[in-house]
């Protein structure tokens, strides 16, 4: 299932135009910068059991190495630490963290380590904007830009990627800046997590939260109103985002059931389109990590099936691929050993429901 939608459409029927989209994109991206700026000055509180902070404690700073050599050093040094913390990689299955990582104490969270390359040459200029922790999917629908520090109430789940070399180098630059400002005063790694890492998660968080709202709209499910998450005023664009979602869904319904076009023409706020939000890291997919990628992909596939394939019968070739992928996923034992978490149970139930829906409408696809 992780192989679906990894290439742009072979034919492009043109993008949709929504007059309110440029204003929403500009406004929301401006608010993200405002929130990040505030918490860089006044870091979000982070508990001492935060896994990202604890990870950095076990990775040496190695001030004798330049940036490029330090990144290579961290790539080697972090493998054992990553395994010990239960993170998933192409060579290690990892586990579901049932008391959250940053999403909330009642949240199931999966962390996939990635060695994706990044611009080390311009690290001195760009490090503060790096986002080493990024969501592939989460279940939250709050668009008031919450900075997650694992205290958010309520159940949920998420799948995220973690670039440990980027995180370690970013932390090293932060320590240099703190030393320039405060001298030899010792700085807590948890201030770095709360002031830099967590606010920068917003760039991957917000589009998924918007997707979740639109996905709920497509099924006629309401979205609760969330309290403001910050000690300062922030414009709430929830109603405008929902109104845009209604137009997007209506336009998709009139366009017809081209599955590839659905993910390529659905607009987002930080990213250009849903296809970009669904993108997976370029790390190799193996028997060890495919279960995590399956978890991340399923909500998007479910959305496409329910809003496009079932409504219009869509592109039969893609429907066949979808059906085959879902059947393969339902028969597989890839979740063996990752924990009997609710996230796995939800996944299997969602797979079963989609297979039934396709079989009811598919006229013998099975």
Q: Say if residue 186 is in the same domain as residue 67.
A: yes
User: What's the pLDDT score for residue 181?
Assistant: 83
The whole-number average pLDDT for the span 245-255 is 84
pLDDT at 157 over 80: yes
Task: Give the pLDDT confidence of 256-291 residue by residue, as tens digits.
Answer: 556 777 888 899 999 999 999 998 888 888 889 999
pLDDT at 363 over 50: no
Separation of alpha carbons 337 and 351, rounded Å: 20
pLDDT at 365 over 50: no
Question: pLDDT class for 239, splitting at 50, 70, 90?
Answer: very high
Question: At residue 134, what are phi and psi to the nearest 5 degrees?
Answer: -135, 140
Number of folded domains that form the chain? 2
Separation of alpha carbons 53 and 63, rounded Å: 19
Domain that holds residue 83: 25-206
Q: Say if residue 57 is in the same domain as residue 123.
A: yes
Task: Please give the helix or strand (H or E) that residue 297 lies within, else none.
Answer: helix 290-304
pLDDT at 196 over 60: yes
Q: Say if residue 306 is in the same domain as residue 356.
A: yes
Q: What is the mean pLDDT of the chain?
A: 88
Q: Say if residue 255 is in the same domain as residue 332.
A: yes
Kindly state whether residue 42 falls inside one of the protein's structural domains. Answer: yes
Kindly state whether residue 16 falls inside one of the protein's structural domains. Answer: no
User: What's the pLDDT score for residue 191?
Assistant: 95
pLDDT at 174 over 60: yes
- Tell me the HSE value of 325 on the side-chain side, using a 13 A CA sphere: 18
Residues of the chain with pLDDT > 90, as a percent, come to 61
pLDDT at 48 over 60: yes
Q: Say if residue 46 is in the same domain as residue 181.
A: yes
Kindly state whether residue 17 falls inside one of the protein's structural domains. Answer: no
Q: Say if residue 171 is in the same domain as residue 292.
A: no
Q: Say if residue 190 is in the same domain as residue 282.
A: no
Task: Give the pLDDT confidence of 283-332 residue by residue, as tens digits.
Answer: 888 889 999 999 999 999 888 888 876 555 556 666 777 778 888 877 66
pLDDT at 9 over 70: no
Instruction: Please say which residue of 186, 206, 226 terminates a domain.
Output: 206
Task: Give the pLDDT confidence of 56-89 residue by residue, as tens digits.
Answer: 999 999 999 999 999 999 999 999 999 999 999 9
Residues of the chain with pLDDT > 70, as a percent, come to 89
The whole-number average pLDDT for the span 175-196 is 87
User: What's the pLDDT score for residue 342?
Assistant: 79
179 to 34, 56, 172, 175, 258: CA distances (angstroms): 25, 18, 11, 6, 55
Q: Say if residue 145 is in the same domain as residue 32.
A: yes
Q: Say if residue 287 is in the same domain as residue 182.
A: no
Looking at the DSSP bridge assignments, the partners of residue 267 are 273
Q: Say if residue 154 is in the same domain as residue 259.
A: no
Q: Say if residue 162 is in the same domain as residue 273.
A: no
Residue among 251, 198, 264 nearest 6 (CA): 264
Kindly report the pTM of this predicted structure: 0.93
Residue among 101, 226, 115, 205 nearest 167 (CA): 115
Kindly state whether residue 289 falls inside one of the protein's structural domains. Answer: yes
Kindly state whether residue 332 falls inside one of the protein's structural domains. Answer: yes
Question: pLDDT class for 10, splitting at 50, 70, 90?
Answer: low
b/e string for 249-271 if b means 16 or more Cβ within 10 A? beebeebebbbbbbbbbbbbbbb
Instruction: Please say which residue of 170, 187, 206 terminates a domain.
Output: 206
Kindly state whether residue 68 falls inside one of the protein's structural domains. Answer: yes
Q: Say if residue 120 is in the same domain as residue 255.
A: no
Kindly state whether residue 221 falls inside one of the protein's structural domains. Answer: no
Kindly state whether residue 10 falls inside one of the protein's structural domains. Answer: no
Three-state SS at 163: coil
Task: Please give the helix or strand (H or E) that residue 134 lies within, else none.
Answer: strand 133-138
């Amino acid at each position: 299932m992780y192989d679906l939608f990894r290439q742009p459409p072979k034919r492009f029927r043109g993008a949709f135009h929504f007059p309110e989209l440029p204003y929403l994109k500009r406004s929301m991206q401006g608010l993200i910068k405002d929130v990040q700026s505030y918490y860089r000055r006044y870091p979000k509180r982070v508990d001492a059991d935060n896994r990202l902070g604890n990870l950095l404690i076990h990775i040496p700073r190695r001030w004798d190495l330049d940036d490029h050599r330090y990144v290579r050093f961290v790539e080697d040094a972090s493998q054992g630490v990553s395994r010990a913390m239960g993170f998933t990689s192409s060579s290690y299955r990892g586990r579901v963290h049932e008391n959250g990582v940053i999403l909330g104490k009642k949240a199931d969270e999966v962390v996939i380590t990635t060695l994706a390359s990044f611009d080390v040459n311009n690290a001195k200029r760009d490090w503060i904007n790096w986002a080493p922790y990024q969501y592939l999917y989460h279940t939250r629908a709050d668009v008031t830009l919450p900075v997650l520090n694992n205290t958010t109430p309520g159940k949920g789940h998420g799948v995220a990627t973690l670039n440990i070399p980027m995180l370690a180098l970013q932390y090293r630059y932060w320590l240099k800046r703190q030393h320039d400002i405060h001298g030899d005063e010792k700085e807590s790694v948890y201030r770095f997590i709360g002031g830099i890492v967590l606010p920068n998660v917003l760039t991957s968080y917000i589009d998924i939260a918007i997707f979740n709202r639109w996905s709920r709209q497509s099924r006629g499910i309401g979205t609760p109103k969330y309290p403001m998450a910050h000690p300062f005023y922030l414009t709430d664009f929830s109603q405008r985002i929902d109104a845009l979602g209604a137009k997007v869904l209506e336009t998709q319904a009139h366009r017809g059931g081209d599955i590839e076009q659905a993910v390529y023409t659905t607009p987002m706020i930080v990213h250009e389109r849903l296809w970009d939000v669904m993108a997976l890291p370029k790390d190799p997919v193996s028997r060890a990590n495919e279960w995590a990628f399956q978890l991340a992909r399923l909500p998007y596939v479910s959305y496409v099936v329910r809003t496009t394939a079932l409504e219009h019968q869509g592109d039969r070739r893609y429907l066949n691929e979808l059906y085959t992928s879902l059947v393969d996923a339902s028969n597989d034992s890839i979740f063996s050993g990752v924990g009997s978490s609710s996230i796995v149970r939800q996944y299997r139930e969602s797979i079963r429901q989609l297979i039934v829906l396709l079989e009811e409408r598919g006229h013998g696809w099975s």
